[in-house]
Amino acid sequence: MKLNLAQWGNSLHSGEKVYPIVPQRKRWFAVSAVLIAASIALLLIKGLNPGIDFSGGTEFRVTDAPNPDTAIAQEVVDAAGVEGTARITVLGENDVRVQIGVVESETARELTTELADAYEVDAEAVSFTQIGPTWGAEVGKKAVQGLVIFLILVTVVMSLYFRAWRMAAAALIALAHDLIITVGVYALVGFEVTPASVIGFLTILGYSLYDTVVVFDKVRENTANLTSQHRYTYDELANLALNQTLVRSINTSVVALLPVSAILFIGAFVLGAGTLQDIALALFVGMAVGTYSSIFVATPAEVALRDSETKIKEHTQKVLAMRESGSSDVTIAADGSVRVGAVDKGAHQGSSAQPRRKNRKA
């Protein structure tokens, strides 16, 4: 019989169906290590492509060009003898953006006239903006400061909320995982890193953190009375929490990725809205990687850290010893996985727990 999504979710929540995510954490760590190593290699080899907001430079905009051919702008820049490589992009259907290094104001005005003549538009249709290297360096500094402040606040809030530094450390590991891989994709694709990209990075970190907190909250709920029972280990209860929140994580990710996909693939590539590429790519890659990390990195990392605690070690040894002696009533599947059910058995509350009826007049 085919299992629908609702039945699948119920099976995961009840423990009837369990995916061994935490027990196979070494496999997921290996996958993440490969992705992180590849991202770092791309950053070292290709590097990022910072926009003029960070590096400084001059940007020209040609609007409503009859023939928005990038080769025309390249010829103008080459003829002017401008040093460095020009970044020429077609925005929309007939707008052209030209980015070069810092030049003198007189040179910028001459290029404005030459671009207008080359594209056969009025001089008012060509504008230019100059950003000095000092300003660009200050923008980059502020971006790094914003990221550091965000991570510090995350550490404090997570530690206070869960009262467990290991959960805060695992969340930071997942955030670093998401950030490095997303930046590595930027280096691979070659998209410009702009202030909008930084906003996108902070957005995906917040998204990843939100998903991680939901899973951690379920882990804390399942392990609240860990030492009062000796049927399941900490690893098994944490794995149950992951399975119980799996459907929610997938649904949330699909709903979030659909509009972002529209912005990236339809807006940026089909319609040519180049100004959307920087933030759309960060959101798309970051949300996809954030979903992966909240499932396969954050909780497995938290469990790996908790397994080093003496209390967790002793409890795990007691649980396994009871199973070997045959005194445990847990259900073990053919593949060796444990079907985890309710930790605390429910009890009948009696008639006192029933809602009282209001007195009715005769």
The C-alpha atoms of residue 164 and residue 311 are separated, in whole angstroms, by 14
pLDDT tens, 150-167?
888 888 888 888 788 888
Residue with tokens 């070690």: 313
- For residue 1, pLDDT beyond 50: no
Count other Cβ atoms within 10 Å, centred on residue 283.
25
Poorest-confidence range of 100-104, 124-128, 318-322, 358-362?
358-362
Give 161-219 as a DSSP string.
HHS-HHHHHHHHHHHHHHHHHHHHHHHHHT-EE-HHHHHHHHHHHHHHHHHHHHHHHHH
Q: Which range has the top average pLDDT, 112-116, 143-147, 198-202, 329-333?
A: 112-116
pLDDT attached to residue 347 = 47
Poorest-confidence range of 224-228, 238-242, 334-338?
334-338
Question: What band does 40 get if pLDDT is binned at 50, 70 and 90?
Answer: very high
pLDDT tens, 245-258?
988 888 888 888 88
- For residue 349, pLDDT beyond 60: no
The C-alpha atoms of residue 44 and residue 85 are separated, in whole angstroms, by 20
pLDDT attached to residue 21 = 92
Q: Please, what are the domains in the chain?
A: 11-50+135-314 (1.20.1640.10), 57-131 (3.30.70.260)
57 by DSSP, 3-state: which?
strand
pLDDT tens, 175-220?
899 989 988 988 898 877 877 788 888 887 888 888 888 899 999 9
Residue with tokens 């985890």: 340
Helix (H) or strand (E) holding 298: none
Contacts of 87 (CB under 8 A, 6+ apart): 97, 98, 99, 100, 192
Contacts of 327 (CB under 8 A, 6+ apart): none
Residue with tokens 């010893």: 321
96 by DSSP, 3-state: which?
strand
The C-alpha atoms of residue 134 and residue 122 are separated, in whole angstroms, by 32
Pairing of strands 57-62, 126-131: antiparallel
The C-alpha atoms of residue 277 and residue 263 are separated, in whole angstroms, by 8
- Whole-prediction pTM value? 0.77
Average pLDDT over residues 2-17: 72
Question: What band does 38 get if pLDDT is binned at 50, 70 and 90?
Answer: very high
Poorest-confidence range of 21-25, 169-173, 182-186, 194-198?
194-198
236 by DSSP, 3-state: which?
helix
